[in-house]
Amino acid sequence: MALDHTSRQLIALALAEDIGPQDLTSALLPEDLVGEATVRAKDTLVLSGFEAVEAVFAAVDPRVEVRWANKEGDLVEPGAAVGSLRGPARSLLTGERLALNLLQRLCGVATMAHKAAQAVAGTKCKVVDTRKTTPAMRALQKAAVRHGGAYNHRFGLFDGVLIKDNHIAALGSITKAVERAREVAHHLVRVEVEVESLAQLDEALAAGADVVLLDNMDTATMRTAVQRTAGRALLEASGNVTLARLPEIAATGVDYVSMGALTHSAPSADIALDWGA
């Protein structure tokens, strides 16, 4: 993907936060010293975040060369040399921490997404992310989800209607909320409704919802919801979703399962920047 404006702003702010007026320690090195470093995986992980790393070093010093031995989405084993850097030693060391922070975080998300996708393999169910992303990292994290083999839900509040419990409470009913959505949104926008019971599911289906989100339902109730819906709308399971539960949720026949943990709870991957080629 081409790095978006928000991600570039994030990198600029993070560098300003880290470097301040001057990197006092890297200034100890001679200005003309050229360094080389290897980006090495310390865990089994799925790769993501290459453009973020490139953008960090481009902002620090355009003379830094970044080369990758793999592509994003590749699964690599511990010890794999996935990339290399060459350039002014001062600049390599100045950009090292932010580059690793982003790479470790994004590879962690991609690795979690890979595990989730593997957990539903062989079913029609797709694992999707949510808006529970780190502020200003949404585009990067959603790309990482795709690199791991899972899918994206709506990007933000502007590209899909998702009517939740508080919207329903404010408008008075699911029916009124769906009617209002049809009046406001254009015809290419799908309308999704969150429900907490089978009675609410019936109302959402009667109102013409395109997608129904089954919120915090147990497995047996999800299965009943699939049977009751009978293809009249797409169904998304959500709430209390873990890697361990994914196979049983997928087996109910739902079309999607949304998993906030893909972005808000994925552990950062262990990646090192080893000095020398």
pLDDT tens, position by position, 21-46: 999 999 999 999 999 999 999 999 99
Active-site pick, 8, 86, 97, 223: 97
3-state secondary structure of 218: coil
pLDDT value, residue 174: 98
- pLDDT tens per residue across span 195-253: 999 999 999 999 999 999 999 999 999 999 999 999 999 999 999 999 999 999 999 99
To the query of whether residue 124 is one of the catalytic residues in this protein, the response is no
To the query of whether residue 194 is one of the catalytic residues in this protein, the response is yes
Active-site pick, 43, 54, 192, 194: 194
To the query of whether residue 142 is one of the catalytic residues in this protein, the response is no
Report DSSP state, residue 120: T
Active-site pick, 54, 215, 236, 255: 215
Active-site pick, 8, 86, 132, 176: 132
* Number of neighbouring beta carbons within 10 Å of residue 119: 21
Q: Is the pLDDT of residue 19 over 70?
A: yes
To the query of whether residue 132 is one of the catalytic residues in this protein, the response is yes
Q: Is the pLDDT of residue 11 over 80?
A: yes
pLDDT value, residue 1: 59
Q: Report the distance separating Cα 124 and Cα 249, nearest Å.
A: 11
Residue reference for tokens 């355009």: 62
Q: Is the pLDDT of residue 153 over 90?
A: yes
Active-site pick, 131, 154, 164, 182: 164
To the query of whether residue 126 is one of the catalytic residues in this protein, the response is no
3-state secondary structure of 7: helix
Residues 169-180, mean pLDDT to the nearest whole number: 98
Residues 153-169, mean pLDDT to the nearest whole number: 96
Q: Is the pLDDT of residue 62 over 80?
A: yes
pLDDT value, residue 2: 79
pLDDT value, residue 277: 65
Transcribe 82-99 into DSSP letters. EEEEEEEHHHHHHHHHHH
Beta strands, E only, 216-255: 234-238
Percentage, residues of the chain above pLDDT 90: 98
pTM: predicted TM-score of the whole model, two decimal places: 0.96
Q: Report the distance separating Cα 31 and Cα 66, nearest Å.
A: 20
Q: Report the distance separating Cα 173 and Cα 181, nearest Å.
A: 12
